[in-house]
Chain A
């Protein structure tokens, strides 16, 4: 198979519906409709919870007519981890699939208004660790990329503007994983809190901008649930979006 007919598109995600499932999936496609392989990966998740986008985006280029094929376009992002991306590139390299950086096909059929080439950051708030997976895979095969690099250089000025627009969100601290219970009372307390029990214990918080950036708009408040035992209590804190009902970042203070 010609190497330039292979494209890998893995995109990022953000919490959309708040639905919690266990993972997302990226798909590698080659010429025609045959699926070469599929890689299951999880992104930066909230502990065991991954917010799954309503739709996934997979694009394939290099069919007989050389046209870009798009499925499920705007607004859909799949969260992917850097490690998964690097591994994907290594697998591709080992299999001899060497994608090229030719953007002509994708550029011929723009994906959306801001991503004319399909290789770039989209600059949308709530997008984290978004990588140009195609370019990264290519760079790995040429031994030109290190793990320390955040992302390959954007291929055009649109990318630069998009990355700049996303800077504010990137400097904020990311999601914080849920605490892991160490004993049965903590497990019970955590499970109960996750069912929505507890009450708000403070008003506006300094953490609110970070929560908005990571989980979405709305009024975020701190909740407290206390499991009362005969000899001791277990306290759980978490954040709740009053407007959406989303509960995140459970911990034992």
Chain B
């Protein structure tokens, strides 16, 4: 799945996506380049809309979520291995993850990935190749 950045600031977000306590307001600047294509590695729902996990311009080793309102979908094809997982921490705190199984079935996978857990990092590296292969990417 490939998305193209159409906006990179909080000014373009719907009201539902804004929550200053979480660092999202009208002045928030996202590390995204207008017109650039990004491979999506997972999809979730947060603050009322879909968010895409992409490797943004910060150059981190893990994908970071950005609101779908900042993108247009260029290629909607998703890898055959992807599944949907659903995590419910509480009635007010639940969300889906659409991604490869290691992520979609393990609500702590991303936490470990961000903490540079070796297993999670290796898994993501392997799935990254697969995902970018499906999307024909190596997008830069």
A residues at B contact (CB < 8 Å): 197-208, 219, 221-224, 226, 228, 233, 235, 237, 240, 242, 245, 253
B residues at A contact (CB < 8 Å): 21-24, 28, 31, 44, 46, 58-60, 64-65, 87, 89-90, 93, 95, 107-108, 110-111, 114-116
CB distance from A209 to the nearest CB of B (A): 11
CB distance from A230 to the nearest CB of B (A): 13
CB distance from A82 to the nearest CB of B (A): 29
Q: Which residues of A contact B93 (CB under 8 A)?
A: 203-204, 219
Tell whether, in the assembled complex, residue B116 and residue A253 are in contact, meaning their CB atoms are under 8 Å apart.
Answer: yes
Tell whether, in the assembled complex, residue B23 and residue A223 are in contact, meaning their CB atoms are under 8 Å apart.
Answer: yes
Tell whether, in the assembled complex, residue B111 and residue A221 are in contact, meaning their CB atoms are under 8 Å apart.
Answer: no
Say whether chain B's binding surface is mostly helix, strand, loop, or mixed: mixed
Tell whether, in the assembled complex, residue B114 and residue A253 are in contact, meaning their CB atoms are under 8 Å apart.
Answer: yes
CB distance from B8 to the nearest CB of A (A): 13
**16 CB-based A-B contacts, threshold 8 Å:** A198-B23, A200-B23, A201-B65, A202-B110, A203-B44, A203-B87, A204-B90, A204-B107, A206-B107, A221-B22, A226-B31, A226-B58, A228-B58, A237-B114, A240-B21, A245-B21
Given contacts A223-B23, A242-B22, A245-B21, contact A201 B58 (CB under 8 A): no
CB distance from B69 to the nearest CB of A (A): 15
Tell whether, in the assembled complex, residue A208 and residue B89 are in contact, meaning their CB atoms are under 8 Å apart.
Answer: yes
- Known: A200-B22, A226-B31; 16 extra A-B contacts, CB below 8 A, are A198-B23, A199-B22, A201-B64, A203-B87, A203-B89, A203-B95, A204-B89, A205-B108, A205-B111, A208-B89, A219-B93, A221-B22, A223-B23, A253-B114, A253-B115, A253-B116
